[in-house]
Amino acid sequence: MYQELINKKKKLAVIGLGYVGLPIALEFAKKISVIGFDTNSKRVELMCNAIDPSQELDSKDFEGCDITFTSEFETLQAADFFIVAVPTPVDEHNVPDLVAVTRACETIGKVIKKGDYVVFESTVYPGCTEEDCVPIIEKISGLNNITDFKTGYSPERINPGDKQHTLANIVKVVSGCDTESCDCIAKVYELVVKAGVHKASSIKVAEAAKIIENTQRDLNIALMNELSIIFDKMNINTYEVLEAAGTKWNFLKFQPGLVGGHCIGVDPYYLTHKSKELGYDAQVILAGRTINDGMAGYVAKKVLQHIIQYSENVKDANVLVMGALSRKM
């Protein structure tokens, strides 16, 4: 597979070209032949004109790339190595919404052939790839995982807007359904990840690693947020406390703040959902989520209190919100 990708006798397809999918597709397209597939034809049209709909990449990032953008699934029949980077949000009850991943698996099931590879990059709970995704591909294609085609999981770590930690210079975790596939997937990713890859011992381990990276961050911020609420009641400046405590060698340097976007505030719910299914109600993780989900309301209340304190005309006060998440098309 690797040699044939290099020789452009085989093609790699990326399914879902958002914050995660487009950068990886373009990086690969500098080395091998790529098909970029997205169901949103408006976004595909923009990418055909070297415009990133997510506004992360410049038109020069599209230069010299061997890539075909499409929303026609038939074009995927020419692909041999599939990477899935579709969204994995939660619904209004914070339950994982796997609709996009399920649809992507159905699409792959229609075009996959013997010898092909499928690697998932979408953030999911441990077990999702093998228990939820693979059976859909097997059912629709009539092929078997491991013997007919190979699967793997390689979580993404990019941070939108962060020009320092890019795809090429952060170590990428890779995994496969067997040793052969893990080795092949590692070699393929090493084409674009200069920092190298870490081979996880199984797909589940790689899935779990991704989830806990964001869960750990969420919890650490939640602790700082709770401390800031307590210190506010004590008329103590939280930042001064953190500065003082930070002089100890093992004090972790986190700060209070709002947790938004579609990763840190979402991924822990994937883990707690699976945990609950297995009979364990996660407590610490959900406590952190409750604190962080409540911070926007807390900040709004504090801002109102300040306005009331310092302004006579509360109704006409203007509030500037910086860093609000905008829904893109």
Ligand X SMILES: NC(=O)c1ccc[n+]([C@@H]2O[C@H](COP(=O)([O-])OP(=O)(O)OC[C@H]3O[C@@H](n4cnc5c(N)ncnc54)[C@H](O)[C@@H]3O)[C@@H](O)[C@H]2O)c1
b/e code 280-290 from CB counts within 10 Å (16+ = b): eebeebbebbe
Task: List Cβ neighbours of 187 (8 Å cut-off, separation of 6 or more).
Answer: 2
- Check binding of 15 to ligand X (CB under 6 A): yes
Least CB distance from residue 300 to ligand X, whole Å?
25
From 2-10, 117-125, 189-197, 300-308, span contacting ligand X (CB under 6 A): 117-125
For residue 21, state whether it binds ligand X (rule: CB under 6 A).
yes
Closest by Cα among 205, 327, 223, 208 to 268: 208
- Closest to ligand X by CB, 56 vs 226, is 56
3-state secondary structure of 206: helix
Which residues are CB-contacts of 125 (< 8 A; sequence separation ≥ 6)? 96, 207, 211, 270, 271, 273, 274
Interface with ligand X (CB under 6 A), residue from 5, 19, 118, 151: 19
List the structure tokens of 81: 């190595």
Interface map 182-221 toward ligand X (x if CB under 6 A): ----------------------------------------
The Cα angle at residue 289 between residues 284 and 293, in degrees rounded to 5: 155
In the set 20, 32, 98, 193, which binds ligand X (CB under 6 A)? 20
Q: Is 24 in the site for ligand X (CB under 6 A)?
A: no
- Of positions 57, 140, 158, 170, contacts ligand X by CB under 6 A: 158
Q: Is 235 left (phi over 0), alpha (psi -120 to 50) or beta?
A: left
Q: What is the total count of residues that contact ligand X (CB under 6 A)? A: 28
The active-site residue, picked from 105, 177, 182, 263, is 263
From the list 14, 2, 3, the residue with the least C-alpha distance to 119 is 14
Rounded to a whole number of angstroms, the minimum distance from the CB of residue 233 to ligand X is 35
Q: Give the Cβ contact number of residue 258 at 10 Å.
A: 16
Q: Which amino acid is present at 322?
A: M
151 binds ligand X (CB under 6 A): no
> What is d(CA 209, CA 171) in angstroms, rounded to the nearest whole number?
13
Using the contact rule CB under 6 A, the part of the chain among 36-44, 144-152, 187-195, 305-313 near ligand X is 36-44
Q: Point out the residue whose Cβ comes nearest to ligand X.
A: 18
**260 counts as binding ligand X under rule CB under 6 A:** no
CB of 77: closest distance to ligand X in angstroms?
15
Residue from 292, 285, 289 nearest 228 by CA = 292
CB-nearer residue toward ligand X: 43 or 289: 43
Site mask for ligand X (CB under 6 A), range 73-112, x = bound: ------------xxxx-----------x--xx--------
The only residue of 10, 28, 36, 43 in contact with ligand X, by rule CB under 6 A: 43
Respond yes or no: is residue 263 known to be catalytic.
yes
Q: Does 38 bind ligand X (CB under 6 A)?
A: yes
Q: Rounded distance, CA 213 to CA 220, Å? A: 11
Cβ–Cβ contacts within 10 Å for residue 101, how many?
Answer: 25
How many whole angstroms separate alpha carbon 90 and alpha carbon 262? 9
Q: Which residues bind ligand X (CB under 6 A)?
A: 15-21, 37-40, 43, 54, 85-88, 100, 103-104, 121-123, 156, 158-160, 263
**Active site amino acids:** 263
